[in-house]
Amino acid sequence: MKGSNRATVLTLAEKCKNILASSWQGHLNTIKSDAKGSKESIYTSKVKYIIKRGKPYIWVPEHELHNVNTIIDERGSFSVASPFPGPLGKLLRSVNKFPARVALTGDVVPLKDKKAQSAAESLKELILSEEKAVKEFSYTVSGVLSSSNLFSTSRSENLKELIDGDEKYVIYKFNLSSCMFVNGNGGTHEVDLEDIEKCKADLLAPYSAKLIDGINQSEARRRGLILFCFIYLNVNARDACILSLDRNGFDVLGKVRSKATNDEVDEYQWKQFRFTFKEEARDVESFCCQLVQMEEEAVKKVSSYSGLG
């Protein structure tokens, strides 16, 4: 195990692909229109989507203004944030920090009957595939995920309402013309579309929300993150919360002591740290196994320091 607070080695394109694969909802923006043509004001709403052949396929409720706007002007933008379930969302809001996100621009193109049916079939296949995978998870994986909120972190559960609900939808394909990666501090980085097309999302990306929430909702695992900061980085953290993860490791927000003020009253700040795996976690099983190994290793080292080992 190697710890560092430097940026991940993933390329920006890989980060974007992982974010898109890790979520199921985003904010769609289209230009408000009337019979005279496009206006300059923007209509925004939260919509659900899947990724098919590298492109977002978006389900828009029939009553939404997007369906009128795109008849006049197909231009639009689509923004998807990295998962921030449960305690992580509350923490980010408390420190005025934002999750990393992907901002896409392009054309919002409605699908005709056969293509819409094909997209609907892909949606059903995705849901069934994810449900099957969850049932087959090992004891180790289930142990990590057991503390997570089932509905708020499950892509398949959230997408089911597109099939089972009473709402009717129009399905769109979002044809990309540009892609921007926006980091947690608001910094923007343009990403080459060719790089986006060439790279693939991590196999564990669709389960990111479950993993993040499962770890952050568990007091024992959060204590483990505190131990990681101490053992691997020699940092004394009062609290810790996992921020994001990928095949190479994970990022942690640690509550550490800041420099003493003039009146020498201790103050704390949340600082981001990076932990890198010894080997790539190619899937959820590998990620959870390496996490548990790190926990066991950290406990052994603490025990040896205290003379209990």
**Rounded mean pLDDT of 74-98?**
94
What's the pLDDT at 77? 98
CB atoms within 10 A of CB 148: 23
Is the pLDDT at 271 greater than 80, yes or no? yes
| Across 98-107, 118-127, 151-160, least confident range | 151-160
What's the pLDDT at 103? 98
Asked if 240 and 233 touch (Cβ cutoff 8 Å), the reply is no
Structural domains in the chain, sorted by start: 11-138+151-200 (2.30.110.10), 213-306 (3.20.180.10)
Asked if 123 and 162 touch (Cβ cutoff 8 Å), the reply is yes
Residue appearing with tokens 């024992």: 220
Report the predicted TM-score, pTM, of the whole model to 2 decimal places. 0.91
**SS3 for 266?**
coil
Number of separate helices (H) and strands (E) present in the chain: 12, 11
Query: What is the rounded radius of gyration, in angstroms, for the C-alpha atoms of the chain?
Result: 21
What's the pLDDT at 267? 86
**% of residues, the chain, pLDDT over 70:** 92
Is the pLDDT at 126 greater than 70, yes or no? yes
Classify the C-alpha dihedral 49-55-60-62 as positive or negative. Answer: negative
pLDDT band at 5 (very low <50, low <70, confident <90, very high): very low
CA dihedral 11, 291, 140, 300 (to 10 degrees): 170
What's the pLDDT at 3? 46
Is the pLDDT at 7 greater than 50, yes or no? no
Residue type, 144: V
Strand partners, 176: 106
Q: Where are the beta strands (DSSP E) in the chain?
A: 2-4, 25-34, 37-52, 55-61, 75-81, 101-110, 169-182, 188-191, 237-246, 249-257, 268-276
What's the pLDDT at 187? 93
Is the pLDDT at 40 greater than 80, yes or no? no
What's the pLDDT at 304? 78
Residue type, 188: T
CA dihedral 218, 219, 222, 226 (to 10 degrees): -170
pLDDT per position as a tens digit, 159-213 = 999 999 889 999 999 999 999 999 988 999 999 999 999 999 999 999 999 999 9
Dist CA 263 CA 285 (whole Å)? 49
What's the pLDDT at 94? 92
**Rounded mean pLDDT of 244-270?**
84
What's the pLDDT at 262? 56
**SS3 for 135?**
helix
What's the pLDDT at 43? 95
Is the pLDDT at 285 greater than 90, yes or no? yes
User: Could you write out the three-class secondary structure of 238-261?
Assistant: EEEEEEEEECCEEEEEEEEECCCC
Is the pLDDT at 248 greater than 50, yes or no? yes
